[in-house]
Structure 1
Amino acid sequence: MKILYGVQGTGNGHISRARAMAKALENYPELEIQWLFSGRSPEKLFSMEAFGDYWWREGLTFVHRKGKVSPIATTRQLDLRRLLRDIRELPVHDFDLVISDFEPVTAWAARRHKKDSLGLGHQYAFNFTIPAPRFQWAARAIMRAFAPAQSSLGMHWYHFGHPILPPIAQPHGGSANEEAHILVYLPFEHHRPLLDQLATLPQRFIVYGAPVELEAASNIELKAPSVEGFRQDVAGARAVICNSGFELIAETLTLGKPILTRPLAGQFEQEANAQALRELQLAEVVDRVNADTIGRWLETQPAGVRIQWPDVAGQIAAWLADGRRQTAAQLAERLWEQVIPGRGATMSSALQAAD
C-alpha cells in the first residue's frame, strides 16, 4: 500500500506525533510512506531524518502576536493562489490512501480527487461533542474545514464517551538532575516581558521557544530547538509551564509533572484544551503567565498526574497494515482498556466524573 502522509508543521506537536508514527510504520515494509510537511518554512524544520525524502508545501498556518492569534496577519500571509495550485497539482492519484495530520494540502487534494483519506490527530476529536468554548460555531467550522477527511482517528486525554483514541505520547527517560529546574515552553508569547518576570523568581528556568540571543538573568537558560535535548529537559524538570497545545501536555502526563498552562487567546483548540484540562483536573490553567501566577502556583506545591498511555502509534500502524478491518470505535475501546492512571487521585476521580 502506498500512503501519502501530510503533517501540519506549525508548532512541534504534529511533527512529534509524526516521528512516533514513522518509527512504528517502519515495522511494516508493505506500507510505503511518502511524507509531506506544510505550515512552516523548510529552513525552520529540524531533526527530519525519520521522514526520508519528504515533500514540502507552503500550506496554511495561523500567525501569532504576543500570545494571541492575529487574524489580520494570518490573512495577509495567505497565498490562496499558491494553495489552490498545490492542491490541484498534488499527485494523490499515485497513492492508495492519504493520511492528514491536520495538513490541508493533502486533505483537500484527496477530497478534490475523491481519494480514500484518513484524518489522524487531536483536531479530529472535535468532530465529536467534547469540552470546548460555547458559541464558537465559526471557529469549530473552520477547524472542521481546515483539513477534512473521509474518516478520522481523533485523539484526546480522555474519550468523553466517543470513539476517540488516547494520545500518541512517546515515553521519556529519566534524568540525573531531576527536579532541578522548571521547563518553560511558550513560543508564542512576547518573550522580553516573560523573561523579565521569570528573573524575579528564585527558581531556575530552562526556556525553549524564545530567541536564544536574548539577554537572560542568571536563573534562566535559553535553549535552541532540539528534539532529544528538549525531551531530556522535560524529563528532568520539576514542573512544566506551557501553552495549551495537545502533544507536550500528553507527554508531560507520562512523567507525572505538574503543569501550568495558558491557552493562546483566540485559538479555539487551545481554549478547548484548557477547558478539558480543568474538567479532568490535569493541570493548572491561568489567563496569563507572570511572576504572580507562577509564584502562587508553586506555593501550593502542585502535584502532577501520571498516566501511562499504550503504544498508540504502534497499534495504529498495525491497524493500517491490517487493512483497517477494525472500526475506529473498536480500536479506541481496545486502546483505552490499556490506559493506566497512576499517581494523582484527581485523574481517577475526574475519569469517574466524566463517565
Structure 2
Amino acid sequence: MKIFYGIQGTGNGHITRGRIMARELQAANLEVNYLFTGRPQDKFFAMEVFNGHQWREGLTFATNKGKINHLKTVLQSKPLNFLKDIRQLDLSAYDLVICDFEPITAWAARRQNKKTVGICHQYAFQHDIPRAGNDPVSEIVLKKFAPVDLSIGLHWHHFDQPILPPVIETPFIPERIQKNKIVVYLPFEDQQHIIQLFARFKNFEFFIYSPEASPSHHAHIHCKPLSLTGFQQDLSDCAGIICNAGFELASEALQLGKKILVKPVHAQMEQASNAAALSLLGYGQMMQTVDARRIEPWLYETKAIRVTYPNTAKHLVQWIKDGMPPVEQSWCNQIWSEVNITPVELS
C-alpha cells in the first residue's frame, strides 16, 4: 500500500502526532510520502523521521497578542497559490490519502476522488463532545478547512462517542521531579510581557520556549528557542506547564503527570473547547488571560493527574492494514480500556 500523508504545520502538535504515526507506519513496512504546510519551510525542525517530504505554503491563521486576527488571516492568505497547489498535487499513484487537518491534501484528494482518512483532534468535533466559544466562522473552518471521507477524532476522554485516545509517545517518567520547575509555552503572546509577569515569582524556575527566544535578565527565567530534544527534556522533569490550549502538548503533559494551566487563544473555538474539557475532566486549570492572580495559586498546587494512554498509533496502523473497517464503538471501547488514570503528588 502506498500512502500520501498531509500534515498541518501551523502548530507543533500536528507534527508531533505525525512523527509518532510515521514511526508506526514505517514499522509496518508501509510506503508513505508526506506533505507539510502552514508555516515557512525553514521553520520546521526535527523532520528526519519523515524521510524527505514535500512543502507548500498552505493556509494558516494570523494571531496578535494571543487572539486570532481574522482580517489579517484573510489579507495574508494567497488563495490563488492555494488553488494552484490543490490542482498541481498529483495523488494518482497513491492507494490511500491520510489527512491531519491539512487543506491542500484534503481538497486535492476530493478533486481526484481519492479515498481520504482524517486523523486528528479537530475531527472529534463531529461528535457530541464538550464545546465552548462556538461561532459561525469556527463551525465553517471545522467543516470546510480539510474535509475527508472518513474521520478518526482524538480526545482525552471518549465522552461516550466513537473517538480514540491521543496519538502520544509512551512517556519516560523521571525518578525525580523538580517541584519548582515550570515550562511555559505561550508562542502567541507578547514574550516580553510574559517575562515581566513571571519575574515576580522568584521561588520558581521558568523555562520559556518560543519561536523567537527573547533575552532574559532574570536568573530564574530561562528563555529557549524551539527544540524537540530540549523541550522534551525540560517537560519530563518539570512539575507543570503553562501553555495555550492546543491538544497535543496537553496530551503529553497528561501522559507525564504534570499539572496544567492553559490559556486558550481567543476567538479559537477548538482551544476554548479544549480548555473547557480539561476543566470538566479535572485534568487541568484554565485562565482567559495571562493573569498573575490565576497563575500564583496554581504554582503552589501540589497535585496532578497522570493519564497513561495506549499506543493509539499502532492501533490505527493495524486498522489501516486491515482495510479500514467501519469504526464501531466496540473497537473504540477496547482501546479506551487500556487507559490508566492515577493521581500524582508533586510535593
Match of 2:309 in 1: 309
Further displaced range: 315-324 or 235-244: 315-324
Residues 208-217 or 2-11, more deviating: 208-217
Name the CA distance, whole Å, in 2 between partners of 1:172 and 1:240.
Answer: 16
SS in 2 for 1:132: coil
Q: Quick one: structure 1 residues 176 and 306, their matched pair in 2 at CA, closer, same or farther if it must change by over 3 Å? A: closer
TM-superposed deviation, 1:146: 0.4
* Superimposed CA distance per residue, residues 109-165 of structure 1 (whole angstroms, 9 cap, x where no aligned partner): 111111100010000001112111265243122211100000011000111111000
**Aligned residue for 1:209?**
210
> Over residues 196-221 of structure 1, what are the superposed CA-to-partner deviations in whole Å (9 max), with x where a residue is unaligned?
01111121100111632423411100
Partners of 1:52 and 1:135 in 2: how far apart? 39
Residue identity matched to 2:281: L
- C-alpha contact 1:172 1:232 (8 A) present in aligned 2: no
SS in 2 for 1:244: coil
Structure 2 Cα separation of the partners of residues 5 and 160 of structure 1: 28
Deviation at 1:54, TM superposition (A): 0.4
Change (3 A) 1:216 1:156: farther
Counterparts in 2 of 1:22-171, with a 5 A limit?
A: 22-29=22-29, 31-133=30-132, 135-171=134-170
Find the residue that maps to 1:92 and give its secondary structure. Answer: coil
Cα distance between partner residues in 1 of 2:195 and 2:297: 18
Letter in 1 for 2:27: N
1:50–1:262 Cα change, 3 Å: same
Root mean square deviation, CA, Å: 1.6
Question: SS where residue 305 of structure 2 aligns?
Answer: coil
Matches of 1:135 and 1:156, distance apart in 2 = 18
Q: Deviations over 1:162-219 (max 9, x none)?
A: 1000001113324476225111011111111110011111211001116324234111
The number of residues matched between the two structures is 343
Q: Tell me how far apart the structure 1 counterparts of residues 224 and 168 of structure 2 sit (CA, whole Å).
A: 22
Q: Deviations over 1:267-309 (max 9, x none)?
A: 111011111111111111111223322112224x241111110
Q: After the TM superposition, which of the residue ranges 35-44 and 329-338 deviates more from structure 2?
A: 329-338
| Distance in 2 between residues matched to 1:272 and 1:231, nearest whole Å | 25
Calculate the TM-score normalised by the size of structure 2: 0.95
- 2:16 is aligned with 1:16: yes
* Matched letter for residue 165 of structure 1: L
Separation (CA, whole Å) in 2 of partners of 1:72 and 1:104: 20
Conserved? CA contact 1:110–1:117, under 8 Å: yes
2:236 alignment counterpart: 235
Distance 1:134 1:65, change over 3 A: closer
1:176–1:309: structure 2 CA closer, same or farther, 3 Å change rule? closer
- The 1-side partners of 2:72 and 2:295 are apart by 30
Q: 1:39 to 1:95 in 2, by over 3 A?
A: same
SS of the aligned residue for 1:120 comes to strand
Contact 1:174-1:232 within 8 A present in 2 as well: no
**Contact residue 216 and residue 222 of structure 1 kept, 8 A:** no
2:199 alignment partner in structure 1: 199
Q: Quick one: distance in 1 between partners of 2:187 and 2:134?
A: 28
The answer (yes or no) to whether the contact 1:277–1:283 under 8 Å persists in 2 is yes
Paired residues of 1:191 and 1:210 also in contact (CA < 8 A): no
Give the drift of 1:340. Answer: 1.0
Of 301-310 and 40-49, the range deviating more from structure 2: 301-310
List alignment gaps of at least 5 residues for structure 2: none
Tell me if the contact between 2:307 and 2:340 (Cα under 8 Å) persists in the aligned partners: yes
Identity %: 40
Distance in 2 of aligned mates of 1:283 and 1:213:
27
- Please tell me whether the aligned partners of residues 162 and 327 of structure 2 are also in contact (alpha carbons under 8 angstroms): no
TM-score by length of 1: 0.93
Whether the 8 Å CA contact 2:170–2:311 is kept in 1: the answer is no
